[in-house]
Structure 1
Amino acid sequence: MKALVLAGGTGSRLRPFTHTGAKQLLPLANRPVVHYALQAIADAGIEEVGMVVGAHGDAIRHAVGDGSAFGLRIAYLRQPEPRGLAHAVLIARDFLKDDDFLLYLGDNYLEDGVRAFVRRAAADGDAARLLVTPVPDPTAFGVAEVGGDGLVRRLEEKPERPRSDLALVGVYAFTPAVHEAVRAIGPSGRGELEITHAVQWMIDRGLAVRAETTTRPWRDTGSVDDLLEANRHVLDRTQGQVDGKVDPHSVLVGRVRIAEGAVVTGSRIVGPVVVGAGAVISNSSVGPYTAIAEDCRIEDSAIEFSVLLRGASVEGAPRIERSLIGREAVVAAAPRPPQAHRLVIGDHSKVQLTS
């Protein structure tokens, strides 16, 4: 079995970050989201991976390389513009050949990986296998209607009246039968070739499409809130380790990982927290579920449940939480209002001063 990882797309819900970088490279615990996908694929025993990339393909190549760091062999496949998941399968035809394959959205985080899913897909021999999970609001997802035998009866994309609460997670296992399906369908109302339409085409022609339900933590990291929640899940599984410098006036509580080259002075850090190499934290309070990337600077501030990208700086901030702060961004205290006002007022004027 091969794998096809989708790492293109515009990431509109994560703008402005995706104007300058790929959403798959945003970090969870200081590691790009797509790294977790690739590690899960390698852990499942798959060795050959095609990565579909778009406008930020060079950045993804730089962050991932040839795949050897994961025990993988990666081929990069260019998608000139994001035209849907089924279109990605279409352009990957030469790479996939007639092999079964795993389709994995590169901005997804699955806490338990896909090892068992891949094993069952290979053993069952169904034309397709979909990973689904119950969600409170199915209208925001592709939704599967599943029969008592586990076979999918119908798929709907963001339905107004969902037939079930089972959302498509973004992990699929396919046999070569899907190639005829992606060639047969036309663009949706939004101008894309939808994988849900291709799978429905297979169902309508009597091919077996099976759903596998998971209730383990899963996040589509396509929004800031989901990215922060996925970061929390990863940090919950992170062990503490101090390789950087922490002065005697600082306090570390719980699982705190401080990389070599980071410096902490006069501060209190309550884990789980990770601090990247070259970061400097001084006279500050860092609360749980915070990931501070390389070369960040936090001074005279309080921050928690947040993600800081490489080179970000926070100075004089009384309290920051549930925030995503971009590369080389600067957050600083606003100037204090003046203690006195100097006025030059013309005749018949009226001026009101704030206290």
Structure 2
Amino acid sequence: MSAPLLVFLGDIFFMAKDLSEMLRLADADDLQAVLATKIEQNRDAIRRNFSVITGDDGLVRRVIERPRHVRNNLKGCGLYLFDLHVFDAVRRTPRTAMRDEYEITNAIQVMVEDGCRIKSANVVEEDLNLTYPSDLLMVNLKQLRATGRDRHIGEDAEVIDLSRIRDSVLGRHTVVKRPIRIESPVIYDGTVVETERTIRNCVLTPTQVVQCAEVRIPA
């Protein structure tokens, strides 16, 4: 591998402005890493993620995983641009005492202490953790709203009455056999819907239905 790599956590949904800004910043300032960040007013959100401390020159001086004391409003978001220096840092990163895991923030701190040039880029508008089915429903509806649509119908889906579907995401090869009202679900690829009842606020797979609390997405 000879080029920079973009790393992101697989359980987070990102809504970002322009990730190419991270590449431009790395090239312009000869950086070994760029951390995607968000200006976060909710300090509890920073405590659940990690804090990024920078110096007067804009270079990252410290990253703190789940900080107890929040020193600024710069939140790390689990999206990183690294050059090859990261692999050496990972090899020298110890496991954490509390959870016996390797933390990527510890590897970043190793890079900082090695003298690597690292900056942050405020490119993240929203970062949403995917932990529960309701989270999956929320991020799909948020993305639907962000694209200006009231529904997404996947390729080769069979639906009798589109006019009765709103705020909904239907996967590929979905089959809806009756003209029912469908409001705010996510329906997985290949799901066959045979019910005669309204479907609302749920996640449907080919084998099960997971009912969720009502999700309200601001206009």
1:220 to partner: Cα distance: 4.4
- The answer (yes or no) to whether the contact 1:314–1:330 under 8 Å persists in 2 is no
Equivalent-residue separation in structure 2 for 1:224 and 1:124 (angstroms): 41
Residues 224-239 of structure 1 aligned to structure 2 (within 5 Å)? 224-236=133-145, 238=147
The partner residue of 2:7 within 103, 115, 119 is 103
Determine if the alignment matches structure 1 residue 134 to structure 2 residue 18: no
Amino acid at match of 2:208: A
Equivalent-residue separation in structure 2 for 1:205 and 1:128 (angstroms): 13
1:171 to partner: Cα distance: 1.9
CA separation of 1:112/1:223 partners in 2, compared to 1, >3 Å: closer, same or farther?
Answer: farther
State the secondary structure of the residue aligned to 1:145: strand
State the secondary structure of the residue aligned to 1:316: coil
Superimposed CA distance per residue, residues 75-99 of structure 1 (whole angstroms, 9 cap, x where no aligned partner): xxxxxxxxxxxxxxxxxxxxx3x54
The equivalent residue for 1:196 is: 105
What is the number of residues matched between the two proteins? 202
| Structure 2: segments with no counterpart, 5+ residues | 211-219
1:115 to partner: Cα distance: 1.6
- The answer (yes or no) to whether the contact 1:143–1:168 under 8 Å persists in 2 is yes
The equivalent residue for 2:216 is: none
Alignment root-mean-square deviation, CA = 2.9
Equivalent-residue separation in structure 1 for 2:18 and 2:131 (angstroms): 18
Amino acid at match of 2:189: R
The equivalent residue for 2:213 is: none
Structure having the higher Rg: 1
CA separation of 1:293/1:162 partners in 2, compared to 1, >3 Å: closer, same or farther?
Answer: same
The equivalent residue for 2:72 is: 164
| Structure 1: segments with no counterpart, 5+ residues | 1-95, 240-254, 256-271, 332-355
Equivalent-residue separation in structure 1 for 2:209 and 2:82 (angstroms): 46
Determine if the alignment matches structure 1 residue 311 to structure 2 residue 190: yes
Equivalent-residue separation in structure 1 for 2:61 and 2:135 (angstroms): 29
Determine if the alignment matches structure 1 residue 187 to structure 2 residue 86: no
Q: TM-score if structure 2 supplies the norm length?
A: 0.75
Superimposed CA distance per residue, residues 301-336 of structure 1 (whole angstroms, 9 cap, x where no aligned partner): 433222110233261334512x222234368xxxxx
